[in-house]
Structure 1
Amino acid sequence: MKNFALIGAAGYIAPRHMKAIKDTGNALLAAMDKNDSVGIIDSHFPEAAFFTEFEQFERFVDLSKKQGTDLDYVAIASPNYLHDSHIRFALRHGADAICEKPLVLNPQNIDELLLAEKDSGKRVFNILQLRLHPSIVSLKEKVAAAVAADPNKVYDVDLTYLTSRGNWYFTSWKGEDAKSGGIATNIGVHFYDMLGWVFGDLIENKAHLKQADCSAGFLRFKHANVRWFLSVNYDYIPQEIKQTGQRTYRSITVDGDEIEFSGGFTDLHTASYQDILNGGGFGLEEARKSIEIVSQIRNMEIVTSGSDIHPFVAKVC
């Protein structure tokens, strides 16, 4: 049994980390969040210590270590802009870090964390759960086989992801680009990771749309041309999806064929934890490509014309 702490216990994704810790047979010693709406802890680890002040949380970790209870892992589900700091906390206290996406907001943070990782002798892992989704694993195998037969093979891919959010989203840290990285970073980074994992090195990156509630662009990988559109605005969801009562729409087409991956997301954190505990996991360098992509998108100028614009952009413009 390994001992865990969790930073960011009140967020949307925190229950998946709690469930993953429990399902893999481990213990949550302490959790920390400045917000105290964390009753979900009772469903997993009612005996865990909880703190709303980081200094008290750190004191608990220090005292536990002095009393002979070492911390093996710190799970990090805090706001994006705090990931770097909280990863460093884990390493300083002799624990490996398991961090939500995005790992960090800028590529230079990865370089600095590599040095911190080396100095501490501990590891940093990123939750890149789509790499474990059966449909995506199958797609990667299919693409690898096709590329082996034809090294010049290039696919045409459309990525469309709309996950409706209410007004609270824009009032929270997620609505501040400096804290979340913006729409492309906050809800798109794991898709960019998946695309790079499947289709190879990035060759070209364009931004066609950057607004508070949506973003769109074009990515050229070694083996795919990708038009992408991301949004948290319910208005842009296709009418036929609205009629079913759903508020989320995910679609990835590869050469016109839909990749079915709408289900199976809830257990991928548990699979990610099990992979790490078994000696696998995705480290700092494996997160680099997606962090470079979102950093570029955040800082590049918009291109408003071209044949590579996602069709959903017309819904906005």
Structure 2
Amino acid sequence: VSVCTPNYLHDAHCRYGLRLGADVICEKPLVLNPWNIDALQEIERETGRRVYNILQLRLHDSIVALKKKIEAGPSGKIYDVDLTYITSRGNWYYTSWKGDERKSGGIATNIGVHFYDMLTWVFGSVRSNVVHVAAHDRVAGYLELEHARVRYFLSINEALLPADAVEGEKRTYRTIEINGESFEFSEGFTELHTESYRRILAGEGFGLDEARNSIQIVHDIRNATPIGLRGDYHPMARCPLAPHPFGWKR
């Protein structure tokens, strides 16, 4: 059973698939809350079936190479990482289930959960999670990982796209800087979902435990109280907030 439904239904539909006696492939995010993973693991034990999550960035050639490079580097080295991801969404976003934080999990969950998975996969477990800004169209914060200090900025507001992206008629901008150097991974996304499904069907997929770190991160971000522009924040966190297109409040 492949679950591609709205985020808030993933947990129920994964349970349904397991109780039907099927293995389940679930699109991101696996669930909205970390305790949902515990319950799914219990049903896995009862049924003998498995739930697999699509963690496609773990299959990206450049990211696989980065992980190997970090693992081969000095054991105690801490890297400074800036993640910027802007993906344009129209007003339809706010009128759909995606605009309802209770159903989508908010910006960090909806567009960022696979990036948080990638970061912890490469740089290790979370030691600190601070949110600077959280609004209807963006989230910015700081993650201290075992081997990295990460400043991130995620947004669905196309007005924040850099000029070179706009001139190139691109509606998505993603970049990671590591110790001040740009890490290029803008290409190579086309076949990642196909490869994810291929590996799952071959018995090599990512299970419930692999999804746990990223689900815990987005849960904590969603429930955090933003501290504002204090401490080590992403430069784009200073961008003025745009009003909600329909005047709704979080």
TM bucket, shorter chain: over 0.9
Secondary structure (helix, strand or coil) at the match of 1:312 reads helix
| Aligned partner letter, 2:69 | K
For residues 182 and 215 of structure 1, the distance between their equivalents in structure 2, rounded to whole angstroms, comes to 9
| Cα RMSD (Å) | 0.9
* Equivalent in the alignment of 1:251: 175
| Aligned partner letter, 2:53 | N
Matched, 1:224 2:148: yes
Q: 2:70 aligns with which of 128, 137, 143?
A: 143
Q: 1:108 aligns with which of 15, 35, 45?
A: 35
For residues 137 and 7 of structure 2, the distance between their equivalents in structure 1, rounded to whole angstroms, comes to 17
8 Å contact from structure 2 (residues 229, 237) kept in 1: no
Shift of 1:305: 3.2
* Equivalent in the alignment of 2:58: 131
For residues 35 and 188 of structure 2, the distance between their equivalents in structure 1, rounded to whole angstroms, comes to 33
For residues 305 and 166 of structure 1, the distance between their equivalents in structure 2, rounded to whole angstroms, comes to 27
Secondary structure (helix, strand or coil) at the match of 2:221 reads helix
* Equivalent in the alignment of 1:239: 163
* Equivalent in the alignment of 1:57: none
* Equivalent in the alignment of 2:132: 208
Secondary structure (helix, strand or coil) at the match of 1:87 reads helix
Matched, 1:172 2:89: no
Query: 1:126-158, CA deviations, whole angstroms, 9 ceiling, x for partnerless residues?
Result: 000000000100100000001xxx221000000
Shift of 1:314: 1.4
* Equivalent in the alignment of 1:272: 196
* Equivalent in the alignment of 1:158: 82
Give the ranges of 4+ consecutive aligned residues of structure 1 lying more than 3 Å apart after TM superposition. Answer: none
Matched, 1:303 2:227: yes
For residues 122 and 307 of structure 1, the distance between their equivalents in structure 2, rounded to whole angstroms, comes to 45
For residues 285 and 223 of structure 1, the distance between their equivalents in structure 2, rounded to whole angstroms, comes to 21
* Equivalent in the alignment of 1:10: none
More displaced stretch, 106-115 vs 240-249: 240-249
For residues 232 and 4 of structure 2, the distance between their equivalents in structure 1, rounded to whole angstroms, comes to 35
Shift of 1:281: 0.7
Secondary structure (helix, strand or coil) at the match of 1:252 reads strand
For residues 125 and 316 of structure 1, the distance between their equivalents in structure 2, rounded to whole angstroms, comes to 39
For residues 118 and 244 of structure 1, the distance between their equivalents in structure 2, rounded to whole angstroms, comes to 50
Identity of aligned residues (%): 58
Count, aligned residues: 241
Secondary structure (helix, strand or coil) at the match of 1:122 reads coil
1:75-114 equivalences in 2 (<5 Å) = 75-114=2-41
8 Å contact from structure 2 (residues 84, 173) kept in 1: yes
Secondary structure (helix, strand or coil) at the match of 1:78 reads coil
Gaps of 5+ in 1: 1-73
More displaced stretch, 160-169 vs 237-246: 237-246
Query: 1:46-100, CA deviations, whole angstroms, 9 ceiling, x for partnerless residues?
Result: xxxxxxxxxxxxxxxxxxxxxxxxxxxx111100000001101110111100000
* Equivalent in the alignment of 1:291: 215
For residues 86 and 266 of structure 1, the distance between their equivalents in structure 2, rounded to whole angstroms, comes to 27
* Equivalent in the alignment of 2:248: none
Secondary structure (helix, strand or coil) at the match of 2:93 reads helix
For residues 287 and 210 of structure 1, the distance between their equivalents in structure 2, rounded to whole angstroms, comes to 23
Shift of 1:273: 1.1
Matched, 1:121 2:45: no
Gaps of 5+ in 2: 242-250
Q: 1:198 aligns with which of 117, 122, 132?
A: 122
For residues 216 and 84 of structure 1, the distance between their equivalents in structure 2, rounded to whole angstroms, comes to 27
Normalized against structure 2, the TM-score is what? 0.95
Secondary structure (helix, strand or coil) at the match of 1:152 reads coil
* Equivalent in the alignment of 1:11: none
Normalized against structure 1, the TM-score is what? 0.75
